[in-house]
Structure 1
Amino acid sequence: MFFHVQNLINDIEQDEPDPGAANALQEGLGGQFGEMRTMMQYLFQAMNFRGPAAKPYRDLIQGIGTEEISHVELIGTTISRLLDGSPQYQGKKTDPLDKPGAGGAIPLNIALSEGNIHHYLVGAQGALPVDAVGNPWSGSYVYNSGNLVLDLLYNLMLESTGRLQKCRIYEMTENKTARSTISYLIVRDQAHENGYAKALETLGVDWNKLLPIPKTNAEKFPEVKKLTDLGLQSKQYTFDLAGQSEAGKIFRGLSPSKDGTELDASEQAPEGVPSVIATERFEEYAPGLDPELLKLIQATADLELADVDAMYGRIGK
């Protein structure tokens, strides 16, 4: 089972909308080496895992796969925030939406020249399950051979390539919203590289000499350095409520990245930060709840609560 805590796994800094950066981040979400791929690949490997004696390896893959769900949420929310609003539009909620605001542009004018027009036409200024050129995410990306060594090798390659691409995206934009998420994912990708490298090491594969991949000296990125100084590249969470994960049998000892840190799998999950729902976007007619609809929703909710009270008694009395 999976449980959802209504927190984002990492804070997203505030900055101006940047649809170009949003589109670049789509590669990190729905591209061949993006977060949707890692999430699905590891969960399918965990679901199809065979061999009870190898449970620690399954638990490691499953724990990382569970974390990847939160990465999909984080990067998707970041894309949405980068698209949310129109920098040159200074109108008010009461203004006619087909006219420019005072001293500004029409609300969605930026869609014609920046980023991916589908973010505005199809996604109502939100993330889409596509890559940076609009190709839909494909289940054919998922690699699940059934062979433990092959799967671990492929997973390490996947994390390394994803980290490489995120380092490139970091160099493409100075937007604080984008960089706060990119930096966090760069560091967590390295943690996952370390996990899969350590797993391969226990199986006699001397892969760890190559880590980290790419050789970026990521600490030159100030946002990344703040996180590596906290040792985030050497932590792995279990996301296990019952304390049954055996991933700590593998994720321990000196880091394969040779940065002098010890691998630590003792934490269940990071603390996270509150998740905030964005305000309405009137120019997108999203969500489009007028007063009459809001009254109908409230009336429906009142009826449902009355049914619950009739069946189970008044809640909280």
Structure 2
Amino acid sequence: MYFHAQTWINDIADGEPDPAAANALQEGLGGQFGEMRTMMQYLFQAMNFRGPTAKPYRDLIQGIGTEEISHVELIGTTISRLLDGSPEYTGKLTDPLDKPGAGGATPLKIALDTSNIHHYLVGAQGALPVDAAGNPWSGSYVYNSGNLPLDLLYNLMLESTGRLQKCRIYEMTDNPTARGTIAYLIVRDQAHENAYAKALETLGVNWKSLLPIPKTNAESFPEVKELLDLGLQSKQYSFDLDGKSEAGKIFQGDSPSKDGTTLDASEQAPAGAPSFIAHERLEEFAPGLDTDLLALIQATAELELSEINGFYGPTTT
């Protein structure tokens, strides 16, 4: 089972709308080496895993796959934040639908010459399951050979390539919203590199000075350095409510990145950051709930509450 906590796994920094940065981040979401791919690949490997004696490896892959669900939420929400309000439309519900927005421009004119038109035409200023070129995410990206060493090697390659691309995306923009999320994912990709590298070490691989991939002067990225100083590259979470994960049998000892840190799998999950829902977008005909719908929802909630009170007794709020 999976449970959802209504917090983001990391804070999303404040910043101005930036549709070009949003489109670059689409590669990190729906690209061949993006977060949707890592999520699906690891979960399928965990579901199809065979061999009870190798349970620690299954638990490690499953824990990382579960974290990747939260990465999909984080980067997808960041893309939405970078798009939200980018036309600077200031219309009101009483305005004509074709009234010009700020500066005399039509409300969605920006969609014709900036970034990905589908963000406005299809997605209502939200993230899409596509790469930066607009190609839809494909299940054919998922690799699950059934051979443990081969899958671990492939997973390490996937994390390394994803980290490489995110380092490049970081250099493409100075938007603090984009950089904050990308920096977090760069560091967590390194943690996952370490996880799969350590698993392969237990199978006889000696990495020597190969990792991390790519080799970067992380201190040149201030958001990355801040997270590295917290040791986030050497933590792995179990996301296991039952306390049965055996991933810590693998994710322990000196980091394969040879950065002087020790791997730590003792935490169930990170603390997370408060999440919030974006404002309505009138120019996208996505206004949220009108008065009648709100009244209906309130009436339904009161009916359900009365049924609960009738069965369990009065509830407290």
Q: Do both share a fold (TM > 0.5)?
A: yes
Match of 2:54 in 1: 54
The total of aligned residue pairs comes to 317
* Aligned equivalent of 1:243: 243
Query: What amino acid does structure 1 have at the position aligned with 2:51?
Result: G
Residue 60 of structure 1: how far off its partner (Å): 0.7
Shift in CA distance, 264/58, structure 1 to aligned 2, threshold 3 Å: same
Give the AA of the match of 2:194.
N
Q: Which residue of 2 aligns with 1:161?
A: 161
Question: The residue matched to 1:66 in structure 2 has which SS?
Answer: helix
Match of 1:263 in 2: 263
Distance 1:56 1:102, change over 3 A: closer
The separation in 2 between residues aligned to 1:104 and 1:204, in whole angstroms, is 66
Residue aligning to 2:304: 304
Task: State the 1:115 CA deviation.
Answer: 1.2
Query: CA offsets per residue over residues 169-191 of structure 1, 9 Å max, x none?
Result: 00111001000000000000000
Q: Which amino acid aligns with 1:17?
A: P
Aligned partner of residue 191 in structure 1, secondary structure: helix
For residue 28 of structure 1, what is the aligned residue in structure 2? 28
Aligned to 1:142: 142
Letter in 2 for 1:276: F
How far does residue 311 in structure 1 lie from its aligned partner after superposition? 4.6
Structure 2 partner of 1:11: 11
Identity %: 82
What does the per-residue CA deviation read over 1:118-167, in whole Å, with 9 as the maximum and x for residues that have no partner?
A: 11111111111111111111111111111000000000000000000000
Q: Which position in structure 2 is the counterpart of 1:223?
A: 223
Q: Distance in 2 between matches of 1:104 and 1:222?
A: 39
> Secondary structure of 1:209's match?
coil
Q: Any conservation in 2 of the 1:95–1:101 contact (CA below 8 Å)?
A: no
- Which residue pairs with 1:151 in the alignment? 151
Tell me which residue corresponds to 2:108: 108
Aligned partners of 2:89 and 2:283 also within 8 Å:
no
* 1:215-243 superposed Cα distances (whole Å, 9 cap, x missing partner): 12222111100000111001111111121
Quote the residue 1:183 is aligned against. 183
Inter-partner Cα distance in structure 2 for 1:34 and 1:143 = 13
Deviation at 1:90, TM superposition (A): 4.5
Aligned mates of 1:19, 1:86 — CA distance in 2: 7
Contact between 2:77 and 2:127, CA under 8 Å: does it hold in 1? yes
How far apart in 2 are the matches of 1:108 and 1:208?
53
CA distance in structure 2 between the partners assigned to 1:210 and 1:146 by the alignment: 26
Structure 1 31/202 Cα, relative in aligned 2: closer, same or farther at 3 Å? same
Deviation at 1:289, TM superposition (A): 2.2
CA distance in 1, matches of 2:152, 2:138: 21
Deviation at 1:110, TM superposition (A): 1.2
Question: 1:287 deviation in Å?
Answer: 3.9
Q: Which residue of 2 aligns with 1:131?
A: 131
Instruction: Determine if contact 1:97/1:107 at 8 Å carries over to the other structure.
Output: no
> Could you state the TM-score of these two structures normalised by the residue count of structure 2?
0.95
Once residues 220 and 102 of structure 1 are traced to their aligned partners in structure 2, the CA distance between those partners, rounded to angstroms, is: 38
Deviation at 1:19, TM superposition (A): 0.6
- 1:202 paired to 2:189: no
